[in-house]
Amino acid sequence: MLTVDNLSAGYGPVPALDDVSLTAGHGEITAVLGANGAGKTTLLRTISGLVRARSGTVSLDGRPLTGVSTEDLPALGLAHVPEGRGVLAELTVEENLRLGALGSRRKTTAADLRRIYDLFPVLAERGTGLAHVLSGGERQMLVIGRALLSRPKVLLLDEPSLGLAPKVVVQIFELLRGLVRDDGLTVVLVEQNARSALSIADHGVVLNLGKVVVRDDAATLAADDGLRHAYLGF
């Protein structure tokens, strides 16, 4: 379980995040929604320590993450797939995956790789080739697979649907739902594509100008026309 309490961050007089709180429950998908510039990415980056929090706390299963450096988070069970995917294109697919396991301070086993290749058969074909040649959808699969290899309790995903064909988005979102259901993974899903995100999420949090404007069940949010028009654009 990931708990964010009263988190503020950003430079200058206008904070990028202003007193944001949220709870991502065990085995649930929490969607973080909002327009461009609402602070969604900053929220994930502050959770990971890439952006310094001005105030507030983040804790993972009750353990505060204040003062824990970004590099130590994977070992504690927090994986963050950044916006723009973060594939290391100059490395091979397999090397990318190995790095995922290294993050939690262990060696990659053949079984680890097989598990990921079972989830994403297309990656198995690409294994020894450079990640450079992967398509957008394959890259998204690679980074999710890589994150899974660190055996996370909590997975932060930043705009996984960005630039992908609808069919691929469906494939990836269904896979996420499966992981949450079967493995008890906790997912914080940042999305512009609110409709799709709410379709698989349990809860949703809507940000606007760095503040939480509403939080509710995903179904309730999706049914609220006024909210949808005002903040979610569908």
Judged by CB under 8 A, the residue of 73, 144, 169, 189 near other proteins is 73
User: Within 204-233, which residues bind other proteins (CB under 8 A)?
Assistant: none
* 6 lines the binding site for other proteins (CB under 8 A): no
The smaller minimum CB distance to other proteins, of residues 105 and 195, is found at 105
Nearest distance, CB of residue 99 and other proteins, angstroms:
5
Judged by CB under 8 A, the residue of 1, 99, 162, 214 near other proteins is 99
The smaller minimum CB distance to other proteins, of residues 80 and 228, is found at 80
* 68 lines the binding site for other proteins (CB under 8 A): no
Residues composing the chain: 234
Residues 6+ away with beta carbon under 8 Å from 115: 148
Nearest distance, CB of residue 62 and other proteins, angstroms:
21
Q: How many CA atoms lie within 13 A of 19 on its CB side?
A: 1
* Long-range Cβ contacts of 68-75 (<8 Å, 24+ apart): 73/48, 73/49, 74/103, 74/104, 74/150, 74/152, 75/103, 75/104, 75/105, 75/150
Judged by CB under 8 A, the residue of 3, 5, 27, 72 near other proteins is 72
The CB density around residue 163, as the number of other CB atoms within 10 Å, is 13
* 104 lines the binding site for other proteins (CB under 8 A): yes
Binding part of the chain for other proteins, among 28-36, 88-96, 160-168, 188-196 by CB under 8 A, reads 88-96
* 75 lines the binding site for other proteins (CB under 8 A): yes
Please give the structure tokens belonging to residue 143: 């980074």
Burial class for 12, CB neighbours closer than 10 Å (0-12, 13-18, 19+): exposed
Judged by CB under 8 A, the residue of 8, 21, 57, 95 near other proteins is 95
- Distances from the Cα of 33 to the Cα of 6, 159, 192, 210, 231, angstroms: 18, 10, 6, 11, 8
Beta-strand pair 186-191/211-217? unpaired
* 67 lines the binding site for other proteins (CB under 8 A): no
- Residue 25, φ and ψ in degrees, nearest 5: -75, 160
Nearest distance, CB of residue 191 and other proteins, angstroms:
19
Contact pattern from residue 141 through residue 180 relative to other proteins, giving x for each residue in contact according to CB under 8 A and a dash for the rest: -----x---x------------------------------
Give the binding site for other proteins (CB under 8 A).
48, 50, 70-75, 79-80, 82, 86, 88-91, 95, 98-100, 102-105, 107, 146, 150
